[in-house]
Structure 1
Amino acid sequence: MIIPHYGNSPDRIVHIAGQKFRYAEFCQQCSRLQQEYDVLKFASIGQSVLGKPIWCVRIGKGSRHIHMNAAVHANEWITSVLLLHFLEDYAAALQGRPKDAGMSVRQAEAWYRDYTLWAVPMVNPDGVDLAQNGAVHCGAYQSRLLAWNEQSPDFSRWKANIRGVDLNDQFPAFWEEERERRGVAEPARQDYSGPEPLSEPEAAALAALTREVPFERVLSLHSQGKEIYWNYRDYEPEEAEQMAEQLAAAGHYRAVKLGGSDAGYKDWFIQEFRRPGFTIEVGEGINPLPASDFDDIYKDVSAILAGAMSF
């Protein structure tokens, strides 16, 4: 049987083999990237509930710092591949071997000179594995996970971490209001905000990195809708809307002023630092988006990420 590969060509490291991209595949491809491209610097920023290192990839030597993250939600794992794919394209262009027609050597060299990019492609590794493998390898959590998932062995719609906490409802930006609005008081596949802000090690690690590095702007990749959210309770800086419009135009997305949502990573960043933050809802359809959509999604997303590196 021939297993289809998405986002792949003979000279590519980052790809989806078949229909899955789990933590093991992620780590294998990160190891190969590290061997191939010395401009990619890997470091763990913390561990998941089950002890998996949460890897951050740094590239660039500029004084302007940018952050991108992905796979905050378990069944949105395709965003992890998109971000890692972008990092490979960037590193390859720096070596004078661009793999993407939309990224030139000159562009990559300018980014490397001016910016330092800090990327966390898989914020929720336990959840990513759960959404694709089910609960059979979750040890002591298996019976609880089945109960939280209404006894269904199908976890493909699971968004939360392994403890049933939605990591994008974990940040201290009107957290109490978000918990009341969600109305979910116990672990679940989505929308449970946890016992308190930053109770989960994955969210805490992301917050610690963000407080440590003076990020000029941040982007968090989610799915789906082809929309870019850029505001938060009027805390966003004046230039945020125009930046969102430019990013949306680059990727043929829509810039949306969003209300009635709190406690997300982008929300907290905007409130805490008063700098531009964006949630990018990639692709269209029902989560998890099919791997067969990857190539079409990447064309748009790579243009958006390149735009974010070029302001």
Structure 2
Amino acid sequence: MSRTEQLTVALLAVPRVIPLDFSIPVHLLGGQAGYRVLVCGDERDAAAGITPTHPLADVPEADIVIVPGYEEPEAPLPEEYLDAIRRSADRGGRVVAICTGTFALAQAGILDEREATTHWRFLASLRERYPLVRVIENQLFVEHGKILTSAGAGAGIDACLHLIRTDFGEAAAHEAGKDVVAAPARDGAQPQYVDVLTSPRANLSATRSWVMEHIGDPITVQRMAERSNLPRRTFIRRFELETGMSPMRWVVSHRILSARRLLETSDWPIERIAAATGFGTAANFRASFRREVGTTPTTYRRTHSVNGRTPEGLTPDPR
């Protein structure tokens, strides 16, 4: 989208709201010039320190509706909140749930036959109460069409950064993440938790840092295993436990991340970006970028570059 546009975000002050879950989108999205955040609800339901500034009637007109987590999610919410969520989904707006806010979406009926997640403590309850929902376990967030559901508060940060990245680009998400000291580019498929504890000495962060420093070089699983002083199969198993991704999937995701930042902030030609981020040829880069991001590098640059247009001297990508 153009950086001059402003999207309206309706944040629901639902009964029994969890203040931390409520504060995350207020801080992250409220800090973005491209968002106008409205706190919508009924004053009679207001939690301590949270006062609605707009009525529920304004919710369906918002571009994005966010339902924060709330206590006792098995207990139903008032019908006026559910109706506002339904009407927003019906008109094609994006709907986001943080933590137990997923229960409100399920209660409203907009998650039927859709994939969704919530905090791991409530997954069994969600599955039992709403059998038509395709519950996804142990992921930070799940995006199905225009509906985004996430796990606990930490995953709510990831979900909000994902919104910023989608609307305003990787550089904007990176700056927002720095503001809250959040790890950059955590993929939704990463696990909420790991059942197997790993000692600090077994942590593979040094190997991942090495990959980031050499993102433009040829990188293989075997090479990463050797740097970790581990057999290949042991390395793969530990890497997946720590990141929730296979080693090469993680590498590709960070190559795409680096490419996005260069497209947004530099005037480098596509060939130079392809080489700098390890994709080799421009053709391979274009194919990988389209597959991962859903658009061409030049279209992405035109939408998300700092000056909002294709830099001079660069030819638009016809593909």
Q: TM (normalized to structure 1)? A: 0.29
Q: TM (normalized to structure 2)? A: 0.28
* Bigger-Rg structure (1/2): 2
Give the number of the structure with larger relative contact order, counting CA–CA contacts within 8 Å between residues 6 or more apart.
Answer: 1
Q: Which has the higher helix share?
A: 2
Q: Which has the higher strand share?
A: 1
